[in-house]
Structure 1
Amino acid sequence: MTSTALPTVTPAPDVPPVVAPAPERRRRPSSGLRSDRPGVRLASWAALIVCGGFALLPVYWLLATSLTPRDQVFSYPPKLFPTEITFDAYTSLTSNPQLFTYLQNSVIVSVITALLSVIVSAYMGYSFSKFRYRGRRQLMYFVLASQMFPQALLLVTLYSVFSAYGLLNTYTALVLSFTTFTLPLCVWMLKGFFDTIPDELIEAARVDGASRLRTIHSIVLPLAAPGLVAAGLFAFVRGWNDFIFALTLAGPDKQTLPPGLVNTYVGEAATAWPELMAASLVVSLPVAIAFMLLQRFLVSGMTAGAVKG
């Protein structure tokens, strides 16, 4: 028998499949408004100017009235731009020593309120954020629910309590009342900031032998500095701008600037409007400067914990 050799079949090289290019899709014209259109840009600038003018018009009216002579304040028709400018209202502020007493009271009460609010809310916010214990959630909601009551509704109760303990007409009454109303928001603000600090960082400090207080003071609080500044600024403004509690709980010697200005320039027969407007403008400057200098801390502190990444 003769053996026939089978032909050797050489495998064909792998050829990648030919993929037909997908047909190009026609881009549909966008039906929405685009920001690069002149009309949209013009409308945005117009809305910004209108909103800015609405917000800054009271400030301008303060300035214009403070520079207007007293006999022309109620001229008719009212003038948007004063025809005659005088600085007598500002010079009269320096000749009234009682205003410096009101200013000193405002600084003392506002600074102590800010410090006390930051200290208490920092520990409370850290407890709500990093500790797990029974009743924690209910206590958090209880702190938040305290903001639902009108603050003026508690004035009679606080007046009775402070009168029973002999705290009326003192700095203590103002500081305690202001701190009571600023704590809920400060606590929730700092809790949201503490939530952004990873637990692994606290565990690493605990492994290294740091105590709880050392961890809070050396690691957590420095990282939460923007939130602390935001909470302190909010508490400072609350103590600086309050009127009804400072008027009721403090006597003439301990009153702050808002009720002090009203008692000085507002009378039963007449009101010194240029002097009142000048004093109001000068009083608003410290808060405005503080907001401009600390606005980045305020924004980061208010938005902390809003997005978890």
Structure 2
Amino acid sequence: MKAVPSKVEKPVSPASRREPGKQRSSTGYVTIVIVGIFALLPVAWMIFTAFTDTSDIFQFPPSFLRTYTLDHFISVIKNETLWTFVLNGFFISVATSAFSLIVGFCSGYAFSKFRFAARSSMMYLILLAQIVPQVLLLLTLYTAFQSVGLLNTYTALILSYTTFTLPLSVMMLKNTFDALPDELIEAGRIDGAGELRIMVSVLLPAMRPALIAVGLFSFIRAWNDLPFALTLADTERQTLPAGLALTFMGEFQNSYGEMMAASILSSLPVVAIFLIFQKHFVSGAMTGAVK
């Protein structure tokens, strides 16, 4: 009997094999572009408005053919009241970062390397504290600070911001401590170092990326806050977001050009700090997020 030749399958070309991957890649690029436009469009509009003359800000339909000026930036730079808000915000943000780093470092080390009663329960409570909406605690904090005489002080803002940044700071640093081998600590103890010496000389250098990430997170959280600065502090101690609202927003007058110029100038320190420590921030955030 004659053998029936089997059906020969046509070989798949490498180009056809790459087509599904190309489609997925194209879809990813399109998604990134759409999200990028959605995120950067308000920033572009803010910059565009800051350089536009007051008479053309509400031009309709919007057009690039308008009068451009630097008067808004000059006015903001000459405004001494705004510089007071800037200094207040910088001091409060740095203090919040320092407290968050100190308390988060010690707490993360304790939760990671020590075993004690109610350890798991306390960690769950810290996670629950992160879930509670912060605005819901505004009235409680206002009443508490008023009863102890801390209302309208720098301390009230620093303590409130530190309270909100601590849960994430503790968990990030705790996960980073989990990734460090216990042999480092044991070697320090064998050499006769105490716990404080081990924390400062052995663990602190190894935790630098995570500490930078926590410090930036705490700084940005305090720098950008508006409701707590408006409620817990008086005008002399309020931060820049509250100062912008009080200076340029009113019932009968809104200086949108100057407010946009001030917003751009206030964003520059945060952008500069992030660009300088970007590498450490990304690596520290990933280390703290993944156990």
Q: TM-score, normalised by structure 2?
A: 0.91
Partner of 1:22: none
Equivalence map 1:215-226=2 (5 Å): 215-226=198-209
- AA of the residue aligned to 2:130: Q
Bigger radius of gyration among the two: 1
Question: Residues 219-234 of structure 1: matches in 2 within 5 Å?
Answer: 219-234=202-217
Q: Which deviations, in whole Å up to 9, do the C-alpha atoms of 1:122-161 show, x marking residues without a partner?
A: 0000001110111111111111111121111111111111
**How many residues matched?**
281
In structure 1, what is the equivalent of residue 4 of structure 2? none
What does residue range 130-145 of structure 1 map to in structure 2 within 5 Å? Answer: 130-145=113-128
CA shift, 1:164, in A, is 1.1
Output the CA distance in 1 between the equivalents of 2:77 and 2:218: 28
Check whether the contact 1:67–1:82 (CA below 8 A) recurs between aligned residues: no
For 1:208, which of 182, 187, 191 is the aligned residue? 191
Partner of 1:97: 80
Determine helix, strand or coil for the equivalent of 1:304.
Answer: helix
Q: CA deviation at 1:247?
A: 0.3
User: C-alpha distance in 1, partners of 2:20/2:151?
Assistant: 61
Determine which of 44, 53, 74 is the counterpart of 2:37.
53
Unpaired runs of at least 5, structure 2: 1-8
Partner-residue secondary structure (3-state), 1:300: helix
Aligned to 2:275: 292
Cα offsets for 1:166-211 (capped at 9, x unmatched): 1111100000000000000000010111111100111111111111
How far has the Cα of 1:305 moved from its partner?
A: 5.3
Aligned to 2:54: 70
SS at the partner of 1:74?
Answer: coil
The answer for the alignment partner of 2:5 in structure 1 is: none
Aligned CA-pair RMSD: 2.0
Query: 1:3 maps to which residue?
Result: none
Paired residue for 1:187? 170
CA–CA distance in structure 2, aligned partners of residues 163 and 277 of structure 1? 34
Aligned to 2:160: 177
Flag structure 1 segments of 5+ consecutive residues without an equivalent: 1-24
Q: Please state how far the C-alpha of 1:47 moved relative to its aligned partner.
A: 3.4
Contact between 1:118 and 1:228, CA under 8 Å: does it hold in 2?
Answer: yes
Is 1:303 matched with 2:281? no
2:144 is the alignment partner of 1:161 = yes
Q: Distance in 1 between matches of 2:100 and 2:290?
A: 25
Task: Call closer, same or farther: CA 1:82–1:220 in 2, change over 3 Å.
Answer: farther
Code of the aligned partner of 1:180: T
